[in-house]
Structure 1
Amino acid sequence: MTSTELKGFILTRRWRDAPAGTEIEYWLATDAGPMKVVLTSQTCVAFVEIRHRASLESHLVAKPGMQVRELALKTFHHEPVIGVYAKHFRQLGQLARALQTQSIAVLEADVRPHDRHLMERFITAGVLVEGGRTDGHTIVDCTLKPAPEFRPALRVVSLDIETSQHEELYSIALDGMRDRVVFMLGEPPSGPQLAPDETADFALVYCPTRKAMIEQLNDWFERNDPDVVIGWNVIQFDLRVLQKTADDCGAQFLPGRERRPIDWRTHPRKQGYLFAPTPGRLVIDGIDALKAAVWSFPSFSLETVSQTLLGEGKAIGDEYDKMAEIERRYQHDKPALALYNIRDCELVLRIFDKAKLLQFVLERAQVTGLQADHFGGSIAAFSHHYLPRMHRLGYVAPNVGEIPSKAFPGGYVMDSKPGFYDSVVVLDYKSLYPSIIRTFLVDPVGLVEGSNIDDPAMLVKGPQGTTFSRTQHCLPEIVTTLSRARDEAKRQRNEPLSQALKLLMNSFAGVLGAAECRFFNPKLVSAVTLRGHEMMKLTRDFVERRGYQAIYGDTDSIFIWLGRTHANQEAHAVAASLVKDINDWWTRTLRDEHNLENFLEIEFDTHYSKFFMPTIRGSDVGSKKRYAGLSTDAAGKEEMVYRGLEMARSDWTPLARQFQEGLLSRIFQGEPYRDFVADYAQSTLAGRKDDLLIYRKRLRHRLDAYLVNVPPQVRAARIADEYNARVNRPRQYQNGGWIRYVMTQNGPEPLETRHSRIDYEHYLTKQLQPIANAILQPMGESFTALTTSQKVLF
């Protein structure tokens, strides 16, 4: 039966070497339901420099199913190449390893078949399916074309499990679809089975064994057939525990479509970190999705995120109270445990909805060409866009590591002028690095072509003697397309798409500077960053010629002191005038001096009616990336802003952050502050702020890895785990994590087992005094002078 034309969105992709050749499988979400696309007998390709043809062909004699073809392609060294075509993808890897012993490179042999098939057709996620043979929900050997506008309506399930403290499975909750259910280990109570309370609209299904729980879960997936599984730490905990439970009880865990298992993989560099490719279904972890969308929280625990976004949380208590309460409910009140379990699923669903995470994930897949649940991957996204365009210009890509890793300049950070200021405006270059790439035609192929051009009129000169072709390049066009798409997304108020496009564009310069990228080249990334240095210096000179003073600058932003107090409306008008004049100057300069079209655009960002730039602690030198200000928008709305100060850093105590915020806000608002400093210190000494004394720090290594320098958080963690072992509780900190502790007269002690008196002097001298002096000294005052009399009286 011949397939009719339909549109779909790629959920998952995989390849395998079948007897007839490499086979590619895509699962699609379509308006007609899930569809599987299978492309059979696919041929795989790699490239070898033509000068190695004899060595290559000697290897191919014993390898059936491989052949060589002439191609009009060349390397970045202008060496012509031939194509090596293989029946099976693994043959290319074997060939690459064999020829490596002769120092012969096989190029692009690592590009996986299912990725190459999409990228060479300029497909990212939305596809148009044409032709092929249809068998139920499977389409075989069809043609795929781009359908970038298609977005599916996805069926989403939120999954969460509850376990004992030793990860023994107690219950599995599934929410988000019609069949809301909790599978509970144990025998049902006598009498009719009821939901835990009148408001709990879900089924509670008791299972006599854990094997029965897994089998019920497999049946649920087949029956309900979700497109997406979401959760919180869902791969590293929930799915991992479910897989281990299935393995331990001799069951198969089959959450994939067609009752297929997870194709577990480990991270090549991150020990213990797992990937869970699941045929036909996306698996999206809420933590990973939030981080990919650049959300920021003090902690990414479900409790913290739900309290921040939704104003409510799980509220069982700390980790030990939670485990004890789960155990109590499992033993004595299983309906209450089921309710707790499914409430976690509800929280995850609501967080996804509030943060528009699923929309962001789909738009990101459409923008990058990566599978929707593949987070990170900026190098892979760059390659997805760049390789097919590069091929059409007659080039094949180098292999990773062809250019040795070497340091290169980062973003420009201007020396700051510390102190308090009135009326500071911040101007910011819109998408600075992508704009530099577009304007100055920075490009891997363009750099290669530029080295072969003699006519200066056909070149764009870059920093450090680099030259780029004016006509042969790929990256400027890619950035232009993405930039226009982002402008359209903003016009349509599609924030998830706008964010995805912005993140992809902004990743390009970093990709060119990543040694793991096949296009890594210090000259390329320096052509971007050093051009940024030049732009910021020229912008500073322009501003100062207008009679204003640049007091700080960082990568793409410049902080301009207007020299005197300006009314808010007047400051905004000055900023608007500077923006117009700078942009006009760039347009004229680039056209007249370089014959280039200007895509550089500076924008007005913020007016600070009050602004503070501190010094580096213990010196008179201005700090970098640390400041605070009272911003005032066009409507006169005020907001305190902190960047890099203790107020904005999680490794300082709430005592310090609250003190810094209170002191700065009083100074900015012209309110009395001396009594505030003295009273705050006195209240701390009197024990009235004990709830603010908690340090929360991360253990970045195993506890036993700290041998010589043992920081306070490690000492506290060791005390905590010694106590946990004594009371027969699991040790929490052996492999890292977050620890909360206070400083006592006997040193750091964890909250789990604090027994010594608090060292209040530590908090005054190590937390409050450094913050106060950084703010007070420019005004000729000090923390000691304001607090000494109070301390004596106390």
Structure 2
Amino acid sequence: MLFQVLDVDYTIVNELPVIRIFGKSDRGKPVCGFFEGNSERYLPYFYVDSEMDINKVLEGETNVHKTERVKRFLPIGYHKEKKDVWKIFLKNPAKTPELRDRLKAKGFDVYEADIPFKYRFMTDFGIRGMDWIEVENEVPVNTNTVNVESKIVIKKIKTTERELSDLKYLAFDIECVPLKPGSVPDEKYDPVIMISLVFSEPYKGKKSMVISTRPGKGVTSFETEKEMLEGFVKIMMEYDPDILTGFNVKNFDIPYILERMRQNEIVPMFGRCKKQVTANKVMSRYRVNLTGRIIADSFEIVKRDFSMKRYDLNTVSENLLNENKEDVKHSEIDKLWKGSQDGYEKLVTYCLKDSKLAMSLLLKLNLLDKYFALAKTSGTLMQDILDSGETMRIENVLLNEFNKNGFILPCRPEGSDVAKREKQRIIELKGGFVIEPKKGLHSSVIVLDFKSMYPSLIRTFNICPTTLIIDEDMENSIMSPAGAKFVPESVRKGIIPSILEGLMKERGDVKKRLKVEKDPQKKKGLDAKQWALKILSNAFYGHFGYPRAKIYKLEIANSITSFGRETIARTKEFIEKKYGYEVVYGDTDSVMVKIDKEDLEEIKKIGDSISRDVTKNLKGVMELEFEKVFKRFLPLTKKRYAAWCFELTQDGWKDKIETKGIETVRRDWCDLVSETTKRVLEIILKENDIKSAVKFFNGIVKEVTERKVSIQKLVITKTLTKRADGYAGVQPHAELAKKMKKRSPADAPGVGDRIGYVIIKGLDLVSKRTEDPMYVIERGLEIDSKYYIENQLLPPVERIFSALDVSKTELLGKGKQISLCGALNNFSGKPKKIEKVSLDEVNGLICVKCSKCYDMPPLTGLCECGGELMFSSVKGIARSVTV
């Protein structure tokens, strides 16, 4: 039998653990393999470094099975010989932490006592996440502890390479109604009223279904919530999906359903074993334990992989699928549920569409391909790839390679040790080298990139915990610019350099295959694999400087960055001396060289020539390569720039506006800001016309001032995450929700609704001047132009223009030195003094001495310069106001 590994856990049989491997067979059937081995049971173990007889220390420890004296290399520092350490075998993996902590408290050095038992097993037998296992002469197992079709005994592990199995997906979405109208649904009290399900393969002839406690067209109805939840479990177990998905199911739908099951006295068992499904909250996120299945939350993956202004399902679907949710607000759900049959059917359609969109996001966009590849590359189970960060992936690779070479790993630090490391990191860690950017707008800039710089430096200089010279004084050593010493490869090749050599070679091979592959599906698989190899390779440097890492060593992290800084500095010097070109910027692993050419092909030839010359003078496997051309390049500060970028692809040169450290989209910006910022950059970079860019922005300011901009472009949107009166501080969208509730309680936005608002003119705090756009249009209220110009438009655009020596006053007033209030007063240089101004016409306050503007008067009643403050309006400025 062949089957692909989806999950691994263990169960206790006769007081000892038995490993269970859950997977999908090559015939599409769920499988659970119980590992027995050829003789005795496979047991958990860890190591203790001690010269004492550890057996005397362990007397009375009932969880210890046996001990052995073995030889292993310690993990940190170059050691010529292995050391005698104790290998302690245990009976119950769950009790390992208790013994580990007791030994640590007695002063013993303990190693590998925090390895999850499933990964201890997978490492020892060479199994990676999503691997295929070949089982010969499988023996059936008669057990009711697992809910799968094929239950077998595995005596020998043999892995093999195959394509991904055809996995079965189930997407679902729940609707719930709070018993107290307008409040947030509370899983302890408020029932689930409806669940929609969408299947990747038909279930009883259906591609989708909706279950509910109210009858309706196309709905499978139940008398009570309890019966419906039991029905949900029944469908889950009969359909038996490999992957469960939905939009935010991990942090809302699943925890909510589990609590409702508890309230209804239902045992939550819908995994592939007789174990209750649990959801444990860590910080603000849930970790769901669903044995044998994978939970792939579309929301979490999209948020990780795509940059968007908002991440609600409607915005995400519109951007990625060109589809929309059904038009139903959260506040309408209660009315639709309790109202007419037509309203109820609208709610059913709404619920079903959410599940369909979640499924489409996962399958149509192939969101999981990269993560399947990362699971295999790192040896990590798929659920851990989706739930955990890069630390777990790196430590799985380290465990495998260290153990293979006779080394042991330390345990992760805890408590005060982490605090010490964090303090040390802040003081001592040195980052990459950044060449001070040359100010101004540059043309024809070549971007030259060091290929996999940090991994290449690690390989070139044999940088590794296992090669770091700590105690010995060795003549034959490599010293980093940071002062640390390492043994050369001729003495011992480091484990990390060896890992990186394998990863980088494999990625190179995959990229070669990718270039000639014609099959679109295979191309996607190869691209996912090269991405996974790149991600893993680049993660090692950061691991050495991460305070919670098992192998934290600042000497190593600083050695890598110091070699990097030295390489960048020497490269800059070499290019400027040999070629006479100006290096206008450099950042960690790249240099940007300004040349006096226009033709892209000619520029590329020069870039290739420079790269070859520099590479010849580099040590080891270091390599500089041509990456792209910036036809126009605008550096603002270190780590912040914008460029008109040209990259050579198989289809020729492709161009785009590239930004780094410059925001063109933010959730708290209205659409006008994003549109304006992008257009300003286009005019500067593509048209090479700073004056036109200033003129364009002047025009936008004028349009806003004269109220000629569509109100829809001024709308700022935010989700109401709790009751409007439940926020601690004054929040703009919550203040509007309160107003709307007073005007029309039935139509007021509820928890979960997105509220679009604009800022209207007035003297109150900005948060008190939020208003519903439709209400503004209907009543002819004035938008606060000053707010939009000063707080929305100016901040991002001013940062761009300041790099070109264009002042704020030029942006607002055609080059004249006038204040914002002056710009609002019909762009006149000096505001006109009038006797009185109407309260409705007041824009704010202005200092007659320095022209500084204020929304609210300072406590002193005077400007900070000591000048008198007067009321500002379109007509002029005045000392008094008429109401």
TM norm. shorter chain > 0.5: yes
744-753 vs 173-182, which moves further: 744-753
Task: Work out whether 1:715 is the aligned partner of 2:747.
Answer: no
Q: Which residue of 2 aligns with 1:209?
A: 224
Task: Work out whether 1:464 is the aligned partner of 2:483.
Answer: yes
Task: Work out whether 1:173 is the aligned partner of 2:179.
Answer: no
Task: Work out whether 1:306 is the aligned partner of 2:317.
Answer: yes
1:489–1:497 Cα contact (<8 Å) kept = yes
Change (3 A) 1:775 1:72: closer
Tell me the CA shift for residue 46 of structure 1: 0.9
Counterpart residue identity of residue 124, structure 1: R
Tell me the CA shift for residue 706 of structure 1: 9.7
Tell me the CA shift for residue 779 of structure 1: 5.9
Deviations 1:162-203 (A, max 9, x none): 2225263222122122023433323535xxxx54xxxxxxxx
TM-score when scaled to structure 1?
A: 0.85
TM-score when scaled to structure 2?
A: 0.77
Which of 369, 375, 383 is matched with 1:373 structurally? 383
Task: Work out whether 1:550 is the aligned partner of 2:583.
Answer: yes
Q: Which residue of 1 aligns with 2:241?
A: 226
162-171 vs 209-218, which moves further: 162-171
**Which is higher, the Rg of structure 1 or of structure 2?**
2
Superposed, 1:230-309 pairs within 5 Å as 230-258=245-273, 260-267=275-282, 270-271=283-284, 273-292=285-304, 294-309=305-320
Superposed, 1:182-201 pairs within 5 Å as 182-188=209-215, 195=218
Partners of 1:721 and 1:380 in 2: how far apart?
43
Change (3 A) 1:390 1:678: closer
Q: Which residue of 2 aligns with 1:145?
A: 158
Q: Which residue of 1 aligns with 2:92?
A: 88
Tell me the CA shift for residue 71 of structure 1: 0.2
Partners of 1:74 and 1:522 in 2: how far apart?
21
Task: Work out whether 1:687 is the aligned partner of 2:707.
Answer: yes
Superposed, 1:777-788 pairs within 5 Å as 778=804, 782-786=810-814
- Cα RMSD of the aligned pairs, angstroms, is 3.3
Q: SS of the residue aligned with 1:172? A: strand
751-760 vs 118-127, which moves further: 751-760
458-467 vs 575-584, which moves further: 458-467
Which of 398, 412, 418 is matched with 1:400 structurally? 412
Partners of 2:797 and 2:173 in 1: how far apart?
46
Tell me the CA shift for residue 224 of structure 1: 1.4
Q: Which residue of 1 aligns with 2:604?
A: 572
Partners of 1:387 and 1:298 in 2: how far apart?
39
Deviations 1:408-455 (A, max 9, x none): 1223332222211111121222322222222222212222xx346655
Task: Work out whether 1:134 is the aligned partner of 2:143.
Answer: no
Partners of 2:824 and 2:560 in 1: how far apart?
55
Deviations 1:27-76 (A, max 9, x none): 0112131110123533211111122435x523334426432211011434
Partners of 2:591 and 2:84 in 1: how far apart?
47
Change (3 A) 1:355 1:538: farther
Tell me the CA shift for residue 255 of structure 1: 2.1
Counterpart residue identity of residue 508, structure 1: F
Partners of 2:716 and 2:32 in 1: how far apart?
52
Task: Work out whether 1:109 is the aligned partner of 2:124.
Answer: no
Counterpart residue identity of residue 531, structure 2: Q
Counterpart residue identity of residue 80, structure 1: D
Task: Work out whether 1:351 is the aligned partner of 2:373.
Answer: no
Q: SS of the residue aligned with 1:488? A: helix
Structure 1's unaligned 5+ residue stretches are: 1-5, 196-203, 591-596, 615-622
Change (3 A) 1:442 1:731: farther
Tell me the CA shift for residue 232 of structure 1: 1.0
2:50–2:108 Cα contact (<8 Å) kept = no
Structure 2's unaligned 5+ residue stretches are: 142-148, 179-184, 515-522, 816-821, 828-873, 875-883
Counterpart residue identity of residue 90, structure 1: A
Q: Which residue of 2 aligns with 1:159?
A: 172
Superposed, 1:423-434 pairs within 5 Å as 423-434=444-455
1:329–1:337 Cα contact (<8 Å) kept = no
Change (3 A) 1:243 1:773: closer
340-349 vs 780-789, which moves further: 780-789
Tell me the CA shift for residue 519 of structure 1: 0.7
Q: Which residue of 1 aligns with 2:34?
A: 38
Tell me the CA shift for residue 237 of structure 1: 1.3
Tell me the CA shift for residue 646 of structure 1: 3.6
1:233–1:286 Cα contact (<8 Å) kept = yes
Change (3 A) 1:181 1:442: same
Tell me the CA shift for residue 608 of structure 1: 1.7
Q: SS of the residue aligned with 2:106? A: coil
Tell me the CA shift for residue 229 of structure 1: 0.8
Counterpart residue identity of residue 133, structure 2: L
1:123–1:147 Cα contact (<8 Å) kept = no
Tell me the CA shift for residue 488 of structure 1: 3.0
Q: SS of the residue aligned with 2:295? A: strand
Counterpart residue identity of residue 173, structure 2: D
Partners of 1:724 and 1:791 in 2: how far apart?
33
1:74–1:81 Cα contact (<8 Å) kept = no
Q: Which residue of 2 aligns with 1:364?
A: 374
Q: Which residue of 2 aligns with 1:69?
A: 68
Counterpart residue identity of residue 346, structure 2: A
Which of 756, 762, 765 is matched with 2:790 structurally? 765
Q: SS of the residue aligned with 1:143? A: coil
Partners of 2:363 and 2:563 in 1: how far apart?
41
Partners of 1:51 and 1:576 in 2: how far apart?
59
Superposed, 1:322-337 pairs within 5 Å as 323=333, 327=337, 332-337=342-347
Change (3 A) 1:174 1:662: same
Partners of 1:485 and 1:659 in 2: how far apart?
44
Task: Work out whether 1:530 is the aligned partner of 2:556.
Answer: no
Partners of 2:556 and 2:717 in 1: how far apart?
41
Q: Which residue of 1 aligns with 2:542?
A: 510
40-49 vs 747-756, which moves further: 747-756
Tell me the CA shift for residue 359 of structure 1: 1.9
2:720–2:750 Cα contact (<8 Å) kept = no
Change (3 A) 1:329 1:543: farther
Partners of 2:771 and 2:255 in 1: how far apart?
30
1:460–1:469 Cα contact (<8 Å) kept = no
Q: Which residue of 1 aligns with 2:639?
A: 625
Q: Which residue of 1 aligns with 2:698?
A: 678
Change (3 A) 1:687 1:451: same
Which of 637, 641, 645 is matched with 2:658 structurally? 641
Superposed, 1:598-609 pairs within 5 Å as 598=621, 600-609=622-631
Counterpart residue identity of residue 656, structure 2: E
Q: SS of the residue aligned with 1:373? A: helix
Partners of 2:5 and 2:472 in 1: how far apart?
42
Change (3 A) 1:506 1:741: farther
Partners of 2:15 and 2:266 in 1: how far apart?
33
Q: Which residue of 2 aligns with 1:792?
A: 826
Partners of 1:688 and 1:582 in 2: how far apart?
56
Q: Which residue of 1 aligns with 2:818?
A: none
Counterpart residue identity of residue 243, structure 1: L
Q: Which residue of 1 aligns with 2:832?
A: none
Partners of 2:814 and 2:108 in 1: how far apart?
73
Q: Which residue of 2 aligns with 1:25?
A: 20
Change (3 A) 1:300 1:318: same
121-130 vs 278-287, which moves further: 121-130
Deviations 1:575-596 (A, max 9, x none): 222222222222xxx2xxxxxx
Counterpart residue identity of residue 10, structure 2: W
Q: SS of the residue aligned with 2:307? A: coil
Q: Which residue of 2 aligns with 1:617?
A: none
Q: SS of the residue aligned with 1:526? A: helix
